[in-house]
Structure 1
Amino acid sequence: MREQSENAWRDSLPKASYFDKSIELVASFDRLMVTLFSALIAGITVMLLKQEVSLWVGASLLLALVSFSLGIGHTLLHVTFTSKMLLLAETLANNTQLVPNAIEGGEPTPHAFARNQAYAQRSFTSQLVFMMIGISFAAISIVIRLWEYAWRAGVIGLAILVVILVIAAMIITWNKTLRRFQPSTMTPSS
């Protein structure tokens, strides 16, 4: 019975090559990240060279530049390890000839596949972490640069948050009060 439900589930899936689609998705994400990191690096470099920035803004932008540079490096590592992992998967699954020097002279073993998969996952996580760190440093430099406007925006944002929390507390209290005073459902006696 369980096998029939599994087969029915598999038959209900659309006919497609999910492996090819996942490769295309990962490749498009890596291209997007390389483009994004490159644009951020170019923008910060132009900003540091063309504008007069204070010491604190410049230091924060420089830290963002370093973080974005490390992020593009990890994106390129992700491309490398993913391609090695896919070549190893092809070799292990279909017994095809391994591309020379694909895994630095090693044997195509499941251990090598798992190792490259772990490297690819670690570099994927690192590129996202460096993106967030770089964006944080860039945001800090914007707040420092535009402090006379930033503190006002912060106070407005805090006021909006307090209003939202007060409204949520009122709604929760109102719902509890309504539930407390609802008549109980009693069946009429005949």
Structure 2
Amino acid sequence: MTYELGTGAQPAQNQAVGKPVELGVLSNLVTTYLHLVLTAAETTLDRRMRDHVLGPGKGKLSSLSVIANNPGISQVELARLFGRNRSTQFRIIRDLEKRGVVRSEVDPTERRRHNIHLTPLGEQLSSELDVIIGLLDEQVFSVLSESEYKSFLESLKKLCSFNVDGFDQLWTTSNRYSPHTA
């Protein structure tokens, strides 16, 4: 089966030939469907956040949630946690500062480190945003039973604990997936 990105699993059509788009090997990969689900969720979230004080844009809610639970976390730590490059995370934090929800302080012991804290407005919005995130998660995964959801979540947590370095190591040491084998 094929899906059109960002439309809530609508069949995609190849307009040139009038047939469904074939994904080839992608149709049998979990990462393809994780990407489709994530993209659909982000599109929905952006629509919902259009009129919110934060506005649309990737990375804001996740960054705020982590900052709320880890006052003083650095921009570099946030970037590393979410697999973002530093400049992307910097833009997210700068946008949140402009909107008055976070403040960045230079670390007194390491001048290159910027510690991020919620402002009073950020603290006020934090619980509201947790509800928005929870409702989105509930909507996205409403097709799963409670036990399926818990099992899926535990599987994803297990995969996340095997970080990017672990994947890189497998890629370069495995005969099957090594880019160095013909």
How high is the TM-score relative to the length of structure 2?
0.22
Of Structure 1 and Structure 2, the greater strand share is in 2
Larger RCO, structure (CA 8 Å, separation 6 or more): 1
Of Structure 1 and Structure 2, the greater helix share is in 1
Larger Rg: 1
